[in-house]
Structure 1
């Protein structure tokens, strides 16, 4: 019964947030105020506030209370198409910044190795980039490549910001993807730190391959983690 009341309170408050009945930056009701408003124990009100905080809707300012977070303008993103993330964001006029955050060899992973058509003894490297728009982190891009295809990846990897740009430097001209998978997950502690988000903010996961059109060879396996609260997703194909 108590859980039902807690759920109803969360639903009611979420409705007020979504419909703008409560404005961004507005002070949020305290535990006592919520407890009185809904005629529930303070522990129930505290649980509700904890849930809304974990979902990223409110934040606390010491000595002042809790406030409704300012909303960010969702970024429209075409998930499909053969252009790079950098190209899409720059074409849309967003101020994109990319930080290379790691280039490291991974342990054998059947799914990734199979996608790359790599041998079990192959050396596969993961190149990670953090994407920021207007200084705000919005996505983590992970590209997995076989060292056999890119012998200098250990030296080049830490400096790569755009994989497509890197491929073009090596003479590749046109790319395509044969398979894309979409799923939802929640961030690990390290991903929370990188994306400046809480544990209950869902991440949209896009997994795909990148194939050289000329040769048909698989260049990379890609896994992108998007903050779900920063995008509007367009799943229609882009016109070339």
Structure 2
């Protein structure tokens, strides 16, 4: 038997996925079924499935099997500061913002540390789900320092906070530090998002500064694992000798 049979299985399934023969979300045959179909070992099949998973074609769910990912996942920029409203306009897909919470709360020790303020100081807290094509796949949790943002109307929270801050509050938002991690889903994620069987979520933390370097916003943006690929453009700068 060809020792590269795993590549044959990999190429066979990438072709089927790319052509749409196997639709996004569909379960592919089990390891034992594939081993029988290709007359090979489960170890070889496992190698092919690992390659499919590694290259973003399938997602393995423990105890349930392997499922085809949406290869037309929405690109989300890693660098740059852009609002969801601006992103949704680029996507060209049906989107909706669901506002769960908007009001002042006393900061927890954790949020105070993120915003470099004293625990218990009031902050604006905004919790929103982002729905794309009928599925709630992003949970945004925003915290704003009240000494900078003195008001935050419901209309702005439901639409575009950045538009309100820049046009009405005349704030100049300049830059952010971003941290990206993959974490286990929380009870809140399960309650507010359409997670299906995904047990992990991509978390993007933003620490946002004004043009005068003032840190005024902490954002935790929680993305369903299968729907986004985070993209950036990098250019190598050759060191001069």
Counterparts in 2 of 1:109-188, with a 5 A limit? Answer: 109-153=108-152, 156-157=153-154, 160-161=157-158, 162-188=160-186
1:24-68 deviation line (CA, Å, top 9, x unaligned):
3767669x979x98999xxxxxxxx9726487x3xxxxxxxxxxx
Q: CA deviation at 1:206?
A: 0.8
1:78 matched to which residue of 2?
77
Indicate whether 1:210 and 2:208 are aligned.
Answer: yes
2:192 matched to which residue of 1?
194
The 1:53–1:82 alpha-carbon spacing in structure 2 relative to 1, beyond 3 Å, is: same
Q: CA deviation at 1:110?
A: 3.5
TM-score (ref. length: structure 2):
0.65
- Which whole-Å CA distance do the structure 2 matches of 1:188 and 1:141 have between them? 14
Between the two structures, name the one with larger relative contact order (CA 8 Å, sep ≥ 6): 1
1:51 matched to which residue of 2?
62
Please give the secondary structure, in 1, of the residue aligned with 2:166. Answer: helix
Number of positions where the alignment pairs a residue of Structure 1 with one of Structure 2:
202
1:143-195 deviation line (CA, Å, top 9, x unaligned):
01233433434xx3586132202312432343122411111112223312432
Give structure 1 stretches of 5+ with no counterpart: 1-12, 41-48, 58-68
TM-score (ref. length: structure 1):
0.65
> Is the CA contact 1:172–1:212 (under 8 Å) kept in the aligned structure 2?
no
- Which whole-Å CA distance do the structure 2 matches of 1:221 and 1:16 have between them? 45
Q: CA RMSD in A?
A: 3.8
- Which whole-Å CA distance do the structure 2 matches of 1:18 and 1:186 have between them? 28
Counterparts in 2 of 1:29-40, with a 5 A limit? Answer: none
1:222 matched to which residue of 2?
219
> Is the CA contact 1:100–1:160 (under 8 Å) kept in the aligned structure 2?
yes
Please give the secondary structure, in 1, of the residue aligned with 2:141. Answer: strand
- The worse-fitting range, judged by mean Cα deviation, of 163-172 and 102-111 is 102-111
Give structure 2 stretches of 5+ with no counterpart: 1-8, 43-59, 235-241
The 1:196–1:39 alpha-carbon spacing in structure 2 relative to 1, beyond 3 Å, is: same
> Is the CA contact 1:142–1:223 (under 8 Å) kept in the aligned structure 2?
yes
Please give the secondary structure, in 2, of the residue aligned with 1:221. Answer: strand
The 1:164–1:26 alpha-carbon spacing in structure 2 relative to 1, beyond 3 Å, is: closer
Q: CA deviation at 1:95?
A: 2.9
> Is the CA contact 2:109–2:120 (under 8 Å) kept in the aligned structure 1?
no
